[in-house]
Amino acid sequence: MKSTIARRCGALLAAAVLAAGGLAACSKGNSPSTDNNKRLRIAYLSFAVANSYDAPMLAAAKAAASARNADVEVFDAANSDATQFSQFQNAITSGRFDGIIVQPIVGTALVPLAQQAITQGIKVVNIDQILGPDYTTDQPQVDGLSGNVVFIPDKIGRQLGELAVAACASKSLNPCNIGFIHDIKASTLGIAIKSAFDKAIAGTPSVKIVAEGESFFNPGVALQAAQNMLQAQPGINLFVSSDQGLQGVTQALAAANKPGSILMVGYGGSAAGFGYLKDGTSFGDVVQAPASEGQLGMEALINAIRTGANAGAVNPVGALPNDGVANKDNVDQFTAEWPG
């Protein structure tokens, strides 16, 4: 898997740097550290280290840093936006770091801190989540950002909605009653995905959400949510969630003696999610590539520190087949970058 990631990441980063030709001369902040022998200090602001999605992202970032003469200090927000805000402040004021990688929980709240860091000559790269108010683009929304390696939440939500409509049509379900399990309902990511999902299914009146739950990216919490939803709405015939949420759903269906009787649609591109596609449990999955993000983000940051070049927007799934949507017929064309 590492060689696959490395090839994809190297090509994407090279393309991004070439597309940003001349940015070294235009970059802001302190002069670049051209001494490759200098040991760099990087702050990595994780939204949640314990999340199985974050682990391969962090591991890939650390490996990229180690190969480029840099040390990484991890700040774990444990899904708390207030904690992350404070950690970002501390990373800036400590004066100990040459660069900062951030995975925003509430991206709009962190914009002023990113601007402050950049003004003080600290290079900043954003990965995974959106840093700014627009969830329909992967373009940088902070002036002077050294790289933006993200998925587009609006696109994930739209593709999930399109998969839901197609899944319902595949079984001629009318009505098609959806149980929608949010990851973190109040997060900006969750709001953006749900909004785009609602728009995608709006043109198909037979497809509607009848129950909602929340997983906090935890299969055990998703299990309880799915059980509550099935009890309140026994007519649910499609569950929509992240791959971690779907793990809880499959447990709930097994406990209710209904395995395989209810359709599933997910996002994440995990080993678990691909397994559900292969056995027919799930209809489709919107793929993500967290390890690629971690590697690409760290490479962009260290390149910015050493040369002053900004990578701009880097698409971690741009080279994937079928616009990054996996199904039973094409799942073997994808490689899972995290377990689920």
Integer angstrom CA distances of residue 255 from 211, 236, 249: 19, 16, 10
Helix, strand, coil: what percent of the chain each, to 5?
A: 45, 20, 35
Give pLDDT, residue 121.
97
Please tell me the predicted confidence (pLDDT) of residue 300. Answer: 98
Report the distance separating Cα 37 and Cα 232, nearest Å. Answer: 62
- Other beta carbons within 10 angstroms of residue 141's beta carbon come to 18
Bond from prior residue into 175 cis (ω within 30 degrees of 0): yes
Instruction: Copy the structure tokens of residue 335.
Output: 């490689």
Contact 262, 236 (CB under 8 A): yes
Give the single-character DSSP code of 332: G
Amino acid at 184: I
Cβ atoms of residues 310 and 143 within 8 Å: no
In 3D space, the residue among 125, 165, 130 whose CA is nearest the CA of residue 144 turns out to be 125
- Which tens digits make up the pLDDT trace of 166-188? 999 999 999 999 999 999 898 88
- What does the pLDDT read at residue 187? 83
pLDDT at residue number 32:
58
Residue 69 is predicted with a pLDDT of 97
**pLDDT for 197:** 98
Q: Tens of pLDDT along the chain (340 residues)?
A: 443 444 444 444 444 433 333 333 333 334 555 567 899 999 999 999 998 999 999 999 999 999 999 999 999 999 899 999 999 999 999 999 999 999 999 889 999 999 999 999 999 999 999 999 999 999 999 999 999 999 999 999 999 999 999 999 999 999 999 999 999 898 888 999 999 999 999 999 999 999 999 999 899 999 999 999 999 999 999 999 999 999 999 999 999 998 888 999 999 999 999 999 999 999 999 999 999 999 999 999 999 999 999 999 999 998 999 999 999 999 999 999 999 8
Give the model's pLDDT for residue 35.
63
**Both tokens assigned to 331:** 């799942």
DSSP strand E in the chain: where?
40-46, 70-76, 99-102, 123-128, 147-150, 176-182, 207-214, 238-242, 263-268, 284-287, 313-314, 325-326
Looking at residue 212, what is its pLDDT? 98
Burial of 210 (0-12, 13-18, 19+ CB in 10 A): middle
Four-CA torsion 85, 288, 271, 219, nearest 10 degrees: 40
Type of residue numbered 58: L
Instruction: Identify the pLDDT of residue 34.
Output: 55
Give pTM, 2 decimals. 0.85
The reported pLDDT for the residue numbered 259 is 83
Q: How far apart are CA 79 and CA 66, in angstroms?
A: 26
